[in-house]
Amino acid sequence: MSNDNSTAILLLSCPDRKGLVSEISYFVSNNGGNITDLDEYVDQEEKVFFIRIAWDMKDFRIAADKLHETFTPLANKFNADWEINYSNVKPRLAVFVSKYDHCLQEVLWRHKIGEFKTDIAAVISNHPDLESLAEHYSAPFYHFPIAKENKAEQEKKEIELLYELKVDAIILARYMQILSNKFVAEFPNRIINIHHSFLPAFIGGNPYKQAYERGVKIIGATSHFVTDNLDEGPIIVQDIIPISHRDSTKDLVRKGRDLERLVLAKAIHYYLEHRVLVHRGKTIIFA
């Protein structure tokens, strides 16, 4: 891997103290890097420091494959959680779906036109319905039927496949199964779901019906990381659209589709550009 034409992106959080920006930015510039983007945030209540810093790898004197090792002493000194990614290394995604096509369609299309810098390692489904859509976009399709009695076994196979395919993150694109805690624990903060309500309103099943019955004047969608607690993971993106008394549950489903597609796409976009940090059940988005 050449440094040329690449940008390094460091995401780091640690207890706040003086001199953090100075020491980190010195590390970059002292090694010949030119910072192109830097965003920093300090949680004043908890005294935690968060930073996203991107620099041009051209002329940077540390090779990408040595950088992790070289930066480790500084990170250890700060007692930091951190990762470095490179703009020319594409994250690998697996997309989980059931029967609804709109979110999968959106992800595959954005990948195809070059908007999502990613490799679609797999489309995984508990139903065969969307195989032809995956094929149309040349994405490998895997069918894992899930029933009560084989769920644990199937999830085990899915996990093996995901490791084999070196998947970085999993997108639940309206996947109608609840993942077991065991599965979720394998991919902490790496499973992105789209829920069709403005959480925490309308947790659980059929949120459009719940919204219709409550008579709300807006409906929403929420993209979040999956945790053990259903619909309670760290929120990445939310948005809403106005509705009226004229909208039936069916209208909400139709209007909500557009929202779901765009909210999920925005969350994936942030993830792929390494703009998301998770801290104590919430996200910091360096947008």
List residues binding a second copy (CB under 8 A).
16-23, 25-26, 28-30, 32-42, 44-45, 101-102, 105, 109, 113, 115, 136, 198-202, 214-218, 220, 234-240, 244-246, 248, 254, 258, 262, 265, 281-285, 287
Q: Which is closer to a second copy, CB of 47 or CB of 182?
A: 47
d(CA 76, CA 82): 10
Q: Which is closer to a second copy, CB of 56 or CB of 158?
A: 56
For the packed helices 64-78 and 20-30, what is the interaxial angle rounded to 10 degrees?
Answer: 160
Q: Which is closer to a second copy, CB of 226 or CB of 236?
A: 236
Q: Report how far apart the first and last C-alpha atoms of the chain are (Å, whole number).
A: 28
Q: Minimum distance between the CB of residue 43 and a second copy, rounded to whole angstroms?
A: 8
d(CA 177, CA 196): 15
Q: Which is closer to a second copy, CB of 172 or CB of 284?
A: 284
Q: Which is closer to a second copy, CB of 63 or CB of 287?
A: 287
Q: Minimum distance between the CB of residue 187 and a second copy, rounded to whole angstroms?
A: 20
- In sign, the C-alpha dihedral spanning 146, 221, 9, 114 is positive
Q: Minimum distance between the CB of residue 267 and a second copy, rounded to whole angstroms?
A: 10
Is 231 part of the annotated catalytic residue set? yes
The encoded tokens of residue 11 equal 């995401």
CA-closest candidate to residue 279, choices 103, 27, 108, 49: 49
Catalytic choice (119, 231, 239, 247): 231
The H or E element spanning position 238 is: strand 235-242
Q: Minimum distance between the CB of residue 254 and a second copy, rounded to whole angstroms?
A: 6
The H or E element spanning position 181 is: helix 181-186
The encoded tokens of residue 34 equal 């030119």
Q: Minimum distance between the CB of residue 163 and a second copy, rounded to whole angstroms?
A: 30
d(CA 83, CA 71): 10
Catalytic residues: 231
